Amino acid sequence: MLNEQVRDLQWQNLQFSPDSPRPTVDFEHYIDPEAADEVYSECMVAAGYPGWEPTTVGAFGGPPVIERLDLYICVSRFPLHPSRWSLFTTAQRGAIYDYYRDSLLPCLAASGLPMNKVPTREDYLAESFFGWNPYNVNFDISNEQVAAITTKCGDLTAKIGGPGS
């Protein structure tokens, strides 16, 4: 189950439609985050991308579809362990939404930060794991501001627990 969730996240992260046909990929083994750059570079070079580096992904416009597909195959063969992903349950995601709406949004507004459109709870739960959050329009927020807001509004992880718990 977790491997399939991780593959779904990878598919979404590489900007493929959830309805697009996906290749069947044989899992080989999990890798540590420290090894990811080297493993994915070797895999992509073997797939026909000489000199491929992880930093080439996500450039403006993103890589071509065929390269994204080959990258999906590599990260599916050698995924990070599911414990490295934030795979929250539906109940946890509902608690995240409630926290955003009831605590964080008022806190951000009181701090003078601009607010973006808030989806309904149902729309939020239907979105991908990379969906809306109140910081989407606040890319300029500093680490100090985030720390101050966390102190002022409370820590989200204390309210919902860790992924999958």
- The pLDDT value recorded for residue 46 is 94
Q: What are the tens digits of pLDDT across the range 29-74? A: 888 878 888 999 999 999 998 888 876 554 434 567 778 888 889 9
Select the highest-mean-pLDDT range: 5-9, 42-46, 51-55, 84-88.
Answer: 42-46
| Entry pTM | 0.49
**pLDDT bracket for residue 75 (50, 70, 90):** confident
For range 23-33, the mean pLDDT = 85
Look at residue 124 in the predicted model and tell me its pLDDT. 83
Residues 6+ apart with CB under 8 A from 142: none
pLDDT at 1: 47
Answer for the pair 17, 69: CB distance below 8 angstroms, yes or no.
no
Bridge partners of residue 31, in order along the sequence: 80
- Residue-level pLDDT at 43: 94
3-class secondary-structure state, position 137:
coil
Q: Tokens 């606040």 correspond to what residue?
A: 138
Cα separation of 29 and 53, whole Å? Answer: 21
State the pLDDT at residue 163. Answer: 45
Contact residues for 74 (Cβ-Cβ < 8 A; gap 6+): 39, 40, 43, 44, 47
Q: Give the C-alpha separation, 71 to 64, whole Å.
A: 11
Give the CA angle between residues 41, 43, 45 to the nearest 5°: 65
Separation between Cα atoms, residue 97 and residue 132, nearest integer Å? 9
Q: pLDDT digits over 100-153, tens only?
A: 888 888 887 887 776 778 888 888 887 755 567 776 555 566 767 767 776 777
Please give the torsion angle defined by the CA atoms of residues 34, 77, 68 and 54, in that order, rounded to the nearest 10 degrees.
Answer: 20
